[in-house]
Amino acid sequence: MKFMKIPAATITRLSIYSRALEAMVDEGVTVVSSKHLADVCSVNPAQIRKDLAYFGQFGVRGVGYFVKELLFDIKKILGLNKQWNLAIVGMGNLGCALLAHQNFAKQGYRFACAFDADLMKVGRKLATGLLIHPVDELVRVCRETNAEIGVICTPPDKAQEIANRFLEVPVKAILNFAPVQIQVPDGCKVENVDFTVKLDNLAYHLTAG
Amino acid sequence: MKFMKIPAATITRLSIYSRALEAMVDEGVTVVSSKHLADVCSVNPAQIRKDLAYFGQFGVRGVGYFVKELLFDIKKILGLNKQWNLAIVGMGNLGCALLAHQNFAKQGYRFACAFDADLMKVGRKLATGLLIHPVDELVRVCRETNAEIGVICTPPDKAQEIANRFLEVPVKAILNFAPVQIQVPDGCKVENVDFTVKLDNLAYHLTAG
């Protein structure tokens, strides 16, 4: 597979297609038309074909896509045919909620290590069996546990400092829940999670509906 | 303004444009080219023009967009020129984290009432001053507090029951954090929050290098 510059939106949609295909596998669906897959994912069929065309030839004309096969291929494209190790920093309400959330393990993401700046929390064992390490040990522990993706759940004023420590590991991918922009050099990628973007969709529905 | 059928992805992008424009207002930027706005939002300039064209004529050819004006117009389109009242159910780690998160208030979303099924939590006052009500009182309290959007942070096996109560109010927009599909009739809109979609983008970045 060649890696050309793929639009970020295409990658996000592939992720959404894979969720829909997983649900179909669970329901025992074996073949899906691009129209049906498009409906489920709220896109148009041409968009699905265009997104997939970046990566090769998929589906059978007049038949559609074989669900398991397409799911396998998309997971391979996204790099989800392996388990990814996460390092999480900030064991407040949000950090604890993420650790307990079923979606991560289901999608192949494993919390490999956890950190907090609060020495009262350090040394505590979480329900998952993970030990909370002090932030000072982040670089060493991330290396030892092969952490590949950093998850920041700290207050906003600590987020950049934690990102800097991740860069030292080096961890080259960061999921940031802190409501602040993090600066990283080229080669490192940050995704910011903002719950309110989805709320805007709902506000629009209520306004225009 | 006429309300035709607008693609969901356009609404999501408008929301992202508004976040970028807000940051520009904070930085004192007064005019932005569609190319620069597009770069910041990781889309192409034609996409911005196409998204805005659904709603009218924006920007000045050869100049760009006036930041404050475009922000005002987008907020009006999305229905964000008013405050929205949220009802939140499930005061576990995630519910408490959401209540404390700065983004909601910043974007005009106000938690109007909170609920939990656990009678040990009911009657407790949260840091924000909100009282935790029993789930049995959801319909009455939501009506009294003019709750417009429901936020579900319960375990997955309780989510549908809570959605049904919201429908009784009626609350016609639901933000669902439970990892389960909720069934609602036409006229009600559900947005599911799945943190792992953003992780897939990072996994792809690490895989494709």
Per residue in A15-43, pLDDT tens?
Answer: 989 999 998 999 999 999 999 999 888 78
Instruction: Show which of A77, A93, A109 is a domain's final residue.
Output: A77
pLDDT (0 to 100) of residue B1? 46
In order, the DSSP letters of B107-153 are TTEEEEEEEES-TTTTTPBPTTSPBEEEGGGHHHHHHHTT--EEEE-
Which domain, by its residues, includes A154? Answer: 84-192
pLDDT one digit per residue (tens) for chain B, 209 residues: 445 678 888 898 899 899 999 999 999 999 999 999 998 887 888 889 999 999 988 888 888 999 999 999 999 999 998 999 999 999 999 999 999 888 888 889 999 999 999 999 999 998 888 999 999 999 999 999 999 999 999 999 999 999 999 999 999 999 999 988 899 999 999 998 888 888 999 999 999 86
pLDDT (0 to 100) of residue B24? 94
Same structural domain, B91 and B175? yes
* A202, part of any domain: no
Same structural domain, A71 and A91? no
Instruction: Show which of B60, B77, B94 is a domain's final residue.
Output: B77
Which of A16, A97, A196 is facing B93, going by the closest CB pair? A97
Average pLDDT, whole number, for chain A?
91
- Phi and psi of B25, rounded to 5°? -60, -45
* B13, part of any domain: yes
- Closest chain B residue by Cα to residue A13: B197
pLDDT (0 to 100) of residue B43? 81
* B203, part of any domain: no
- Total domains in chain B come to 2
Is the pLDDT score of A2 beyond 70? no
- Phi and psi of A192, rounded to 5°? -95, 135
Same structural domain, B136 and B72? no
Residue B73, judged by CB atoms within 10 A of its CB (0-12, 13-18, 19+), counts as buried
Rg (CA), chain B: 20
- Phi and psi of B181, rounded to 5°? -80, 130
Which of A7, A80, A194 is facing B203, going by the closest CB pair? A80
- The pTM assigned to this predicted structure is 0.84
Residue B203, judged by CB atoms within 10 A of its CB (0-12, 13-18, 19+), counts as buried
- Phi and psi of A128, rounded to 5°? -80, -5
Give A60→chain B minimum CA distance, Å.
26
Is the pLDDT score of A3 beyond 70? no
Looking at per-residue pLDDT, the higher value among B147 and A182 belongs to: B147
Same structural domain, A49 and A140? no
What tokens does A77 get?
A: 């494209």
Is the pLDDT score of A143 beyond 50? yes
pLDDT (0 to 100) of residue A57? 87
Q: Is there a contact between B109 and A199 if contact means CB atoms under 8 Å apart?
A: yes
**Across-strand partners of A176?**
A152, A192
CATH number at residue B60: 1.10.10.10
